[in-house]
Amino acid sequence: MSLNSSYFYERFAGMNILSIQSHVAYGHAGNASAVFPLQRMGFEVWPVHTVMFSNHTGHGSWRGPVFEPGTISEVIAGIEDRGVLKECTAVLSGYMGAPELGSAILDAVDKVKSENPEALYCCDPVIGDTDRGIFVRTGIPELFRDKVLQRADILTPNHFELEILTGHKVNTLEDALKAVKELQEIGPSKVLVTSLTRTDAQPGVIEMLAVDKNEAWIIATPRLEFPYPVNGSGDATTAVFLAKYLRTRNLKKTLEHTAGAIFALFEKTWATKSRELQLIAAQDAYVTPPQQFQASSVEIA
């Protein structure tokens, strides 16, 4: 191991992330998409699965159970028994499978924050996307709006989810900033909007918008046309964003790193024409993105 590598792992040793989301055996979605990038970036991850599916739902059919809330709570209680929640740096949640799981996840957030008040809760509000519409069970969008938004420190909706959560159509950058501000007034201080597609953007790009209470940054990468939705990409994006933010606490650097890393992941996947994310093949990009994209400052009210 090189000196730089040794320093990297020593510097961030003890940074642990409790990741509560779905899992698939084949392919990459939920924890199967988020855990490896977090580990590759030097974090210990405690994965708790809300579902255990054979494959992601984008295939149209799958097998496996949605776990009961009590099962989730039991696993988290077992981690609590080890006396390690005070060492948890962040809680990450994604696809829930059923609205009843919300209470178990929020209880876990409460337990972690009671042991470590500095811990962050990062929520990826998985509801749907522009290509497929809403693909989660009835009650989950309402769960996010009514209970989860108020508790999240970081929220990472895609363009479609931003519209669902606010009830407003987002066509322009101004629309997006207004929608983000509305979410921030409810709870999360930091919002990352992924897959932003607006009428006042340059052609041939897709954007991400990162906003906190004091600043906003937007970044564009080339749009790669896939013949199908790229399932699991949002889970990987949120994971990389959270990891980089925990390391730097710098919104601009975090956004630029995330854009470069995820574009490299998309390029690997696009080149192979695979139906599954090439998560392992792109692993070096999570630490050092091969291509740098520049974020632009956006004025906020």
Q: What is the distance between the alpha carbons of residues 212 and 251, in angstroms, rounded to a whole number?
A: 8
Contacts of 225 (CB under 8 A, 6+ apart): none
**pLDDT of 84 above 60:** yes
In this structure, what CATH number is given to the domain that contains residue 163? 3.40.1190.20
User: Which residue range(s) make up the domain with 201?
Assistant: 3-297
What digits encode the pLDDT tens for the residues 115-165? 999 999 999 999 998 888 888 889 999 999 999 999 999 999 999 999 999
What digits encode the pLDDT tens for the residues 12-32? 456 999 999 999 999 999 999
What digits encode the pLDDT tens for the residues 280-300? 999 999 999 999 999 999 998
What pLDDT does 96 receive?
84
CB atoms within 10 A of CB 248: 12
Nearest to 46 by CA among 10, 28, 72, 7: 72
Q: What are the structure tokens assigned to 108, written together? A: 């876990």
What's the gap between Cα 180 and its chain centre? 16
Q: What is the distance between the alpha carbons of residues 48 and 20, in angstroms, rounded to a whole number?
A: 5
Give the highest mean pLDDT range of 49-58, 135-144, 241-250.
Answer: 241-250
In the chain the beta strands, taken as DSSP E runs, fall at 16-24, 44-53, 88-93, 120-123, 128-129, 133-134, 154-155, 190-196, 205-211, 216-222, 296-297
Domain total in the chain: 1
Q: What is the distance between the alpha carbons of residues 57 and 24, in angstroms, rounded to a whole number?
A: 9
What pLDDT does 14 receive?
64
pTM for this prediction: 0.94
